[in-house]
Amino acid sequence: MIEVYTPGRFKYPKGGYLLRPDFSTLPLQLASVKDERQVMGRFIFDTGAGLTFLLSKEFVEDSVIFKRKRKFYPTQAEGLGGKKMMDITVASEIRIGPYKFRNVPIHVFDDEFNVTSYPMLGGLIGNDIMRRFNVILNYPERSIHIKPNNHFQENFDYAYTGLGIYLIDGEIRVIDIIKGSPGDKAGFQPGDIIFSVENNYTKNIQTYKTLFQNSIGKVKVIIFRDQKPLILTINIKDIRRNR
């Protein structure tokens, strides 16, 4: 839900925390990222980004922030510029103001067009962090009030399939498959129609995505290929594991 207020005096709700980010086109918020070591940086506050936390490859390499044993899984994300290959891993801790999150999924991308203006910025804070707060953006006062909501304690998505699935003409189709990923090894092919996941036949794409997210290990999927049914078993990986 979004509420818009006219300029004037505003009384914030009790509790929560008042952030004082720098404001340009988008708010730029200080946050700390901790894994092998802890690093402070400024990050774009982007509630429209459908991921958890995004770091530029340059920031990661210069800060030497991740533990050497961390495994990076190739994945793909889509934004205004289209699809882009990235890596995904986890960081031990993210801190924004007084609030800490542990074992946070991190996307790492090659910022070839310098979207993050590195070294001024390290990346962005995405919606899977900010949806866990009630957020009040106060542009005239150049402040952001955040207060944990009912989503604050929800688990992050650690499941890795390597599949990109989309709803096309009423059918849930596999469009993208990362080479060497669990989806690739299971035998999925572009154009496969997903009929069921773990005996769930709802044909609801969000339900199927949630089932993939909540199912680490072997999952049975019925697909249709060339109008013939096939049963595939995908061994979904946990990105917290380093093997």
- pLDDT per residue, tens digit, the chain (243 aa), is 666 777 777 888 899 999 999 987 789 999 999 999 999 999 998 877 788 999 999 999 999 999 999 999 999 876 545 678 899 999 999 999 999 999 999 999 998 878 778 888 999 999 999 999 999 988 888 899 999 999 999 999 999 999 999 999 999 999 999 999 999 999 999 999 999 999 999 989 999 999 998 889 999 999 999 999 999 999 999 999 865
Instruction: Give how many domains the chain has, as a whole number.
Output: 2
Q: Are 142 and 161 in contact (CB under 8 A)?
A: no
Residue 44 shares a structural domain with residue 143 = yes
Q: Is position 70 within any domain? A: yes
CATH of residue 39's domain is: 2.40.70.10
Residue 142 shares a structural domain with residue 165 = no
- The answer, as to whether pTM is greater than 0.85, is yes
Residue 172 shares a structural domain with residue 131 = no
Q: Which domain range does residue 175 map to?
A: 159-238
pLDDT of residue 80: 47
* Cα distance between residue 132 and residue 149, in whole Å: 6
pLDDT of residue 243: 59
* Cα distance between residue 236 and residue 243, in whole Å: 13
- Beta-bridge mates of residue 224: 193, 229
Q: Which of 124, 148, 172 is the last residue of a domain?
A: 148
Residue 33 shares a structural domain with residue 118 = yes
Residue 47 shares a structural domain with residue 142 = yes
Tens of pLDDT, residue by residue over 163-220, are: 999 999 999 999 999 999 999 999 999 999 999 999 999 989 999 999 998 889 999 9
Who contacts 134 (Cβ-Cβ below 8 Å, separation ≥6)?
Answer: 13, 16, 146, 147, 148, 149
Using left for φ > 0, alpha for ψ between -120 and 50, and beta otherwise, residue 203 falls in left
pLDDT of residue 196: 95
Q: Is position 58 within any domain? A: yes
* Cα distance between residue 29 and residue 77, in whole Å: 23
